[in-house]
Amino acid sequence: MAIVLGPNRYGKAETRVVRVTRDGGVHTIKDLNVSVSLSGDMDEVHLSGDNANVLTTDAQKNTVFAFARKYGIASAEEFALTLARHFVDSRPTIHHARVEVQEYAWDRIPVLEGGVPRAEQHSFVRSGGEVRTALVHSDGTGGAESVVSGLTDLVVLNSTGSEFHGYVKDEYTTLEETNDRVLATAVTARWRHHGTDAGDAGGWDASYAGARQALLDAFAGTYSLSLQQTLYAMGRRVLTERPETCEVRLAMPNKHHFVVDLAPFGLDNDNEVFFAADRPYGLIEGSVLTGDAPDAPDAWS
């Protein structure tokens, strides 16, 4: 019985690259998930382990980062074409390249000063991401009741305006201090109401929209020295601007963005190209409440 090698391909899947473009104090971002598959004269690597025709998957990943720096990212399609053509044209043993790109869209969070846009605009919210939540407890009409509103997966990002330094260092600490970093998180927020109606807040929808906007405004408007500081500022803003609320609980994973070292490829990287890591991540949790917030531990579960 004859046994032969069938169609095959190999590549680097899901390289997460974020490209920040600065036009003065106004930033734009492109956030991509890039998967590359190559095929060609690859029989011998399968049959005998001869790697002479193999472009490593690590090199494919590095090419994604390097091309993001050299050429920028005008669109997902153009970036994919540039990569695919490069892989085939630069290696005679590679006959076909498949490049799949997923793009994550971001909307700017306008930051105002005196009612007009601030000169620096570098805050973003992921388009169409979050889910609205509501949790109600009731012992019936006239009995004890509580309402907790909230949202999950509100993904936000500041491309500058964040530092992290001055922390404890022990023999296992390798993280370097920074005075300029990307700060990104997926916010889970829940806020407890004083009563069981929205009062003069314009109804539940208006109350939710106002609390959500307060979270965004605080995230965008806070120069952050830690994600904990930003968490407190966001909770405080909700309580200040929405008097119908009395307690806010927040969970905010630190969605790390690491500056890619492009020096081996003769390229600089002044906080322009980042690797977006999904795990492990720091998880920051906390609550902020008014001084007159009634004790209601059962309202949250």
For the entire predicted model, the pTM comes to 0.89
Instruction: Name the active-site residue from 28, 57, 82, 93.
Output: 57
pLDDT band at 247 (very low <50, low <70, confident <90, very high): very high
Counting residues of the chain whose pLDDT is more than 90, the rounded percentage is: 84
Same domain (yes/no): 150, 44? no
| φ and ψ at residue 86, rounded to 5 degrees | -60, -45
If one counts every other C-beta atom within 10 angstroms of the C-beta of residue 24, the result is 8
Same domain (yes/no): 294, 166? yes
For residue 199, is it within any domain? yes
Same domain (yes/no): 42, 135? no
Query: Looking up tokens 């109804």, which residue turns up?
Result: 203
In DSSP terms, 19 is beta-bridged to 30, 273
Same domain (yes/no): 65, 152? no
Counting residues of the chain whose pLDDT is more than 70, the rounded percentage is: 99
Long-range contacts of residues 109-113, Cβ cutoff 8 Å, at least 24 apart: 109/156, 109/216, 109/217, 109/219, 109/220, 110/220, 111/217, 111/220, 111/221
Number of domains in the chain: 2
Same domain (yes/no): 95, 139? no
Same domain (yes/no): 97, 131? no
User: What pLDDT sits at residue 198?
Assistant: 77
Instruction: Name the active-site residue from 30, 61, 122, 256.
Output: 256
Same domain (yes/no): 94, 134? no
For residue 29, is it within any domain? yes
C-alpha 153/C-alpha 125 separation (Å) is 10
For residue 31, is it within any domain? yes
Exposure b/e, 217-234, CB count within 10 A at least 16 = b: bbbbbbebebbeebbbbb
C-alpha 150/C-alpha 243 separation (Å) is 16
pLDDT at 239 > cutoff 70? yes
C-alpha 10/C-alpha 37 separation (Å) is 5
Domain boundaries, position 49? 10-104
Closest CA to 212 of 122, 297, 145, 125: 125
Among 40, 71, 104, residue at a domain's last position: 104
Among 71, 104, 137, residue at a domain's last position: 104
**CATH number for the domain including 35?**
3.30.1130.10
Same domain (yes/no): 192, 139? yes
User: Helix, strand, or coil here: 17?
Assistant: strand
For residue 78, is it within any domain? yes
214 sits in which H/E element: helix 204-221
Question: Is-catalytic flag, 255?
Answer: no
pLDDT at 201 > cutoff 70? no
C-alpha 65/C-alpha 42 separation (Å) is 25
Instruction: Name the active-site residue from 12, 27, 193, 255.
Output: 12
> What are the pLDDT digits (tens) for 87-146?
999 999 999 999 999 999 999 998 877 777 777 899 999 987 799 999 989 877 788 889
Same domain (yes/no): 96, 197? no
Query: Looking up tokens 């919210």, which residue turns up?
Result: 125
Among 104, 137, 161, residue at a domain's last position: 104
Same domain (yes/no): 172, 295? yes
Same domain (yes/no): 39, 157? no
The verdict on whether omega for the bond into residue 280 sits within 30 degrees of 0, i.e. cis, is yes
User: What pLDDT sits at residue 199?
Assistant: 62
Q: Are 38 and 10 in contact (CB under 8 A)?
A: yes
pLDDT at 229 > cutoff 70? yes
User: Helix, strand, or coil here: 79?
Assistant: helix
For residue 116, is it within any domain? no
User: What pLDDT sits at residue 196?
Assistant: 86
* Helix axis angle, 57-71 to 76-90, nearest 10°: 130
pLDDT band at 24 (very low <50, low <70, confident <90, very high): confident
Question: Is-catalytic flag, 12?
Answer: yes
C-alpha 120/C-alpha 123 separation (Å) is 9
For residue 266, is it within any domain? no
For residue 233, is it within any domain? yes
For residue 113, is it within any domain? no
pLDDT band at 202 (very low <50, low <70, confident <90, very high): confident
Same domain (yes/no): 230, 161? yes
C-alpha 272/C-alpha 69 separation (Å) is 7
